[in-house]
Amino acid sequence: MSKIHPTAVVDPSAQLADDVEIGPWCVVEDNVTLGPRCVLRPNAIVRRHTKLGSDNYVDSFTVLGGLPQDLKFDPATVSYLLIGDHNVFREGCTISRATTPGNATLVGSNTYWMTGAHAGHDSTVEDNVILVNRSAIGGHATVHRGAILSAHVSVHQFCWVGEMVMTQGNSIVTTHVTPYTLTVGVSDAMGLNIVGMRRAGLTSEERHQVKQAYAILYRSGLTTRTALEQMDQHPEWGPAASGFRDFVRRVAQAKRPYNRPLCRDRNTATSEAEE
């Protein structure tokens, strides 16, 4: 049986699993779905057209499914926020629903959102992503599986952050970031997230292949097109390095408004400047 505190305001149209827990002064608006074992702590708000899967924890003062922060948005638009399973949203997180009719902002499963993290309208946050305190994802951006956004990191709208990327605290992402990359400053790559790759179970051979792909792209002096041709000469690469190559190709073929550059390698850029 659901545990709903008498001070909570729950719209009659909300679909609640039998074992959800809704704390004091929470608000659950119309057309909301809360899956099994979801917990809302005091003062959490879930706005209309938001769907949560199972085992999600929503801490105090978090607002899920708020109106897009877009001056053109018509509040009458029916758009969505769709959230998977086993996610943790700590105090004060905010996620906006999408801007266009029928579309959705998407959050996968097993993500962890620390205090004050934010994702804008029409963004996608894939499985196992960690957002550290006050990190923010702009509208229409995508953060791929296993990435970690450190404290106060900002991701510009329409940018793609690749799988298992790790960002330096207080850094800014204004470009697409290749998978498994460490970033610092403003869209600068500083090599590969070797520790994260090991923790994720990538073998030494898989890590070596990703290093090959990274070197071809950033350390060879080749154009992106020529680097892709070089990477295509490695059919032996496994899923990790192949995924790196596919990400680069997707960026190279991207159309407006996603036609942003790749992050640059800071070490290479510094060497070029010194010359």
Contact 226, 249 (CB under 8 A): no
List the one residue out of 12, 97, 37 whose CA is nearest residue 22: 37
**What's the Rg (C-alpha) of the chain?**
20
Active site residues: 121-122, 139
Please, which contacts does 225-234 make with residues 24 or more away whose CB atoms are closer than 8 Å?
225/252, 228/252, 234/209
Contact 156, 172 (CB under 8 A): yes
- Residue 221 has which token pair? 């002096």
**How many residues does the structure list for the chain?**
275
Q: Is 10 helix (H, G, I), strand (E, B) or coil?
A: strand
Beta strand 188-192 with 166-167 is unpaired
- Residue 165 has which token pair? 């990327």
Q: What is the Cα–Cα distance from 68 to 79, expressed in whole angstroms?
A: 10
List Cα–Cα distances, 139 to 66, 68, 98, 142, in angstroms.
13, 9, 9, 9
Identify the burial level of 193 via C-beta atoms within 10 angstroms of its C-beta, where 0-12 means exposed, 13-18 middle and 19 or more buried. Answer: buried
- Residue 179 has which token pair? 């998978």
